[in-house]
Structure 1
Amino acid sequence: MMRFDPFREIEELSQRMDRALGGTQSARLSPPVDVHEDETGLELTLDLPGVQPDAIQIEAENNTLTVQAERKYARTEGRTAHRVERAYGTLARTFSVPAKYDLTKVEADFDHGTLTIRVPRSEAAQKRAISVRTGGQATPNRTVDAGQSDQNSQ
């Protein structure tokens, strides 16, 4: 005996309408992403299963990184789809990237449906040792984050 689900028929009808009207191709989806940061920069990892590498576009402009990909639904003449649950259409994510990262040096790798994007820190934001002189004498180097003030130096 099957359990009655009043929403099942509505869901199936919605899926049939999407397929009949081409709705599965016009959907705009947001793929899951992990964002990590370390001293070298940002690493963004997106899941894009079933996407071909040539269907991926990455654009960087004005502190914004945009990833867009197309996952197409293959319709076959004479074949009836009884259930279509996987996501098809345009997959897109946009990220605001702080100025301390260099969008001119973005690198991307695509392997087994996983897109990994690396955005390095800009050279101006890299840590570096700075000698502080007092009374004409150089003191030992201290590492200071560029763009951040040091409360102890006052």
Structure 2
Amino acid sequence: MLLTTIDPFVQEFERQFDRLTRQAFGYALGNGGVMPMDGIRRKDDVILYFDLPGIDPDSIEVTVDRGVLSVSAHREEDYAEDDRAFVRERVMGNFTRRVYLPEHLDSEHIDAGYANGVLTVRIPVLEKARPRKVEIQRADSKALNA
């Protein structure tokens, strides 16, 4: 059995390190580039939001393989042959983001939807991992035998 503790210092360090890494490397990647994500726990689900503005919904692919959720998408330039760009800040090409799913999530029942440039992925939490109340047994001045 593995027991873990939640250390707020370590969590904050990891969050800040991830943010700095994305700032330093993520925005300079170009192809394979940026796909910002938010993740929240809502009751019995984990919800992931991926920003994919200007992406054709038909180019989005969500797959799960051995506990890894992969989201990929493609954005193509839509310039005519005689157009000359004088500013190019939008990243074009292929985008991929991989998320390692913990074993307490139900990867068999994932739902995904795309609206207003945001891909929403809902992953149910397995019943055995959901919070539950533990009933306390009462004994007559005796400790429970373990």
* TM-score higher than 0.5: yes
Relative to the length of structure 2, the TM-score reads 0.68
Cα-to-partner distance string for 1:125-144 (whole Å, 9 max, x where unaligned): 23456667678xxxxxxxxx
* Structure 2 match to 1:96: 100
Structure showing greater Rg: 1
Q: CA deviation at 1:109?
A: 1.1
Cα RMSD between the aligned structures? 2.3
1:143 maps to what in 2?
none
SS of the equivalent of 1:83 reads coil
Match of 1:140 in 2: none
Q: Which has the higher strand share?
A: 1
Fraction of identical pairs, as percent: 28
SS in structure 2 opposite 1:99?
A: coil
Tell me the distance in 2 between the aligned counterparts of 1:38 and 1:131: 24
Partner of 2:110: 106
CA distance in 1, matches of 2:38, 2:133: 32
Letter in structure 1 aligned against 2:88: V
Is 2:49 the counterpart of 1:60?
A: no
Structure 2: where are the runs of 5+ without partners?
Answer: 1-29, 140-144
C-alpha distance in 1 between matches for 2:88 and 2:58:
24
Partner Cα separation in structure 1 for residue 138 and residue 67 of structure 2: 39
SS at match of 2:108: helix
Q: How many residues matched?
A: 112
